[in-house]
Amino acid sequence: MNSRSLAGRAAIVIAALLLNVGGLHAACVSPLSNPASTDPDNWQDLLALEPVTSNPEVELVQRIRAGSSTSINLDFYSYTYKRHPTKDIKAAFRDIRQRFRIYARGSSGDSPQHFLPYRKGPSIEEEIYRKNDALWRSSDPQGALMTFVLASHEPVLVLKATFDRLTPVFEQGDVLATCASDLDFVFTTVKTLNNGWHPVSGHRGFGMRDNGDGTWTFFSKGADRASPSFSVSLDKAVVIASNAKNAFGKGTVDPDDHIFMLGHEFWLRFFEAVTDDLARQDMELVRSSVNSKRYPFSAVSTGTQPELQCMNTASPSCGVYASCFDRLCPCASQPTEEYFISYGKKYCEIFLDLPGLSPKGKQWRDLTLNCLQEAIVPKLPPLGSNAPCNCGAMQAYAFNSHVACYTQPRASICDLDSSDWLKIQLAATDASTLTAKGRKQMCDVAKICLPIVAPKVKDVVQKTMDVLICP
């Protein structure tokens, strides 16, 4: 680690310790001491964050290192106000947090952008909506699953579960409150069962600080990269076309930058609404600072080329098995427990080269390959740690991810037609390459699908089970 990195991280630790003076507790995210900083090390509190969750609606925590863009967005929005005449800082911060839904609509209240509790359907009466709403409004919002809509357009056309009306939604994503305290909290982007991928992978923190001079600073600090999802890459094209006249998008060349610019526009409107609301509470704006820039991802990581090799791509590929997975967890010396090259990479290439799949079949293939790769990432030893890897446990975990990825709600093999099933069956059940563990996983998939597939597909699924000699 270089001296600049050490200094940056030490500054963050010192700032966190100082913030505990006077009994105030701020544990999640640190503000920039210099709001105009261009040193990526000052975002290390977010860059190093890798939370986990057991929320059943979350398919995947979207880690920064698994993003697709070669650049990373690092931003800091800082707004300083006169302190509230009667409330203490904790109460004021809680009030701001609980009014996020209002601020997301902008000062005029008619913005097509929204912030809502996560839900599966249009009804606000469903249990999952009420649970997330109550958690968000509570004194401790950690664990609340929420939905941001960054771009939608009228007239009313397409149903989305986050709305009570019909509207085409171009950029929408879910976030999980992964850390919370009296004076700050952090959102982490997540892939969910209902809404799929968030457009970006990363974290955004919010906090309020007492400056000791009669003013308080409300800030947001973000670190994120474009999502690795293929479906999100399609959304980018829609965003580029629909926002061609958007002042924040003019002149941008990198398609990923449109995602960041859309977010930038959202936060400017958000803070404008906050400022207008606080002014009505005698909290006059004293000063503000906006710092939103893109940096090469290599400049904010360990600085080593191998980390770039672990980046996922928007289009499906198989290189990550050799360039990243096998490098971090080498198991060639244990051939009976090796997975990445002898099975993962081999079948990835077989499926990518599989001819004649329908458009729906290709979508299933792409999302399944991505799911299988994303499932492995959290189990890998950290980059640069030289930590040992349990090859047997890694192989077992990788195989166990097959059934869930093959049958994920967004793209299940059970929904494919007989033509696609036959092609997949012939590729996946080759006796010359299929192992006993691979056979078991395919049998489990077939057993799940057999009772629910279309009548014309049942014969193919049953034939698959016969070929595999499923119990």
Tens-digit pLDDT profile for residues 347-367: 888 888 888 999 999 989 988
Within 8 A by CB and 6+ apart from 408, the residues are 59, 367, 368, 371
Between strands 215-226 and 71-82, the pairing is antiparallel
Rounded Cα distance, 350 and 257, in Å: 34
- The domain ranges of the chain are 3-299, 316-468
Residue 325 has pLDDT above 50, yes or no: yes
Confidence of residue 100 (pLDDT cuts 50, 70, 90): very high
320 closest CA partner among 328, 311, 329: 311
Residues in a beta bridge with 188: 176, 203
Strand partners, 159: 166
pLDDT in tens, 25-81: 346 899 999 999 999 989 988 988 878 788 889 988 898 887 878 889 999 999 999
With cut-offs at 50, 70 and 90, classify the pLDDT of residue 177: very high
| CB contact at 8 A, 418 and 457 | yes
Q: What is the pTM for the complete model shown?
A: 0.59
Q: What is the mean pLDDT of residues 303-325?
A: 60
For residue 246, the SS3 value is: coil
Q: Where are the beta strands (DSSP E) in 254-322?
A: 285-296
Q: Assess if CATH 3.30.70.1110 describes domain 3-299.
A: no
Q: Is the pLDDT of residue 429 over 90?
A: no
